[in-house]
Amino acid sequence: TFNLSLKRLSLTGYGEEGLEFPMTNNGHTVQITLPHTMYITDSKGNRYISEQLHFHWGGGPSGVSGSEHTVDGIRRVMEIHFVHFSDKFGSFEEAQSQPEGLAVVAVFVEIEEYNENTYYSAFVSELVNITYPGQTTTLKDTTIQKMLPRDTYNYYTYEGSLTTPPCTENVKWFVFQDSVKLSKTQVERIENAIKNAHNETLHDGYRKTQPLNHRVVEVNFPFADKLGPSYLYLKKIDQKLDNLLHYAGPKKIKKRKHSNRNW
């Protein structure tokens, strides 16, 4: 369902540079601890504080991709979850059992055969240091916002649950329409990098797709057959300006005279 009132998520602190992040093999996935100075704000003004991000992938003998969400029945190769808790509570531990306590931003990963995503290079390089459960390393030279898709404007949203135990149904989900692109080599390194408690390479760490059970999935992007071309054109310009600011970060954008860049 298209909801015109849904605005772009406000991401605060995601673009901060020079930070260091604890990165752990927790026996189920790779988890990166995020600082509480990072938070998101939704269209209603609700603020959710960052806690951690983690990955879901496939890579098993079946060859099935590892995303936990599907769009039109299609599963992506990987999915990243950025986990947050409501600022109405003092901690993630308190919020995770409370109604409307959590929010998760989900990001699909797709393969671009030979194009290495250098924003993920430091992350992939650190995986060798957390082969076994309980091992921890420090992720440096990484800006979290650069780990997001280029377009962070369009998303799907619904009220759901955690995909890992205790699977509490108190999560506001935001699933970006756009995806992160990694090379095939990068994806294969992630899929085969860490082991579980049984000393087995950790594959297929995702929950199967669950029925909607009458939940309504809303989107903040229009369908071409529902709205006129003028609206679509203006929205596209707005998105491109937002994306330009996303990659410019805190730097000032200088205008160039006689630029013949096509928008």
If we measure between CA atoms, which residue out of 59, 61, 58, 40 comes closest to residue 49?
40
If we measure between CA atoms, which residue out of 123, 117, 116, 106 comes closest to residue 174?
106
**pTM of the predicted protein model:** 0.81
Q: Check pLDDT > 80 for residue 234.
A: no
Place 75 in a pLDDT band, splitting at 50, 70 and 90: confident
If we measure between CA atoms, which residue out of 205, 209, 203, 206 comes closest to residue 60?
203
Catalytic residues: 28
Q: CATH class for domain 10-223? A: alpha beta
Contact 31, 53 (CB under 8 A): yes
d(CA 221, CA 235): 9
Enumerate the domain spans of the chain: 10-223
d(CA 100, CA 194): 33
Please give the pLDDT value at position 211. 62
Please give the pLDDT value at position 113. 83
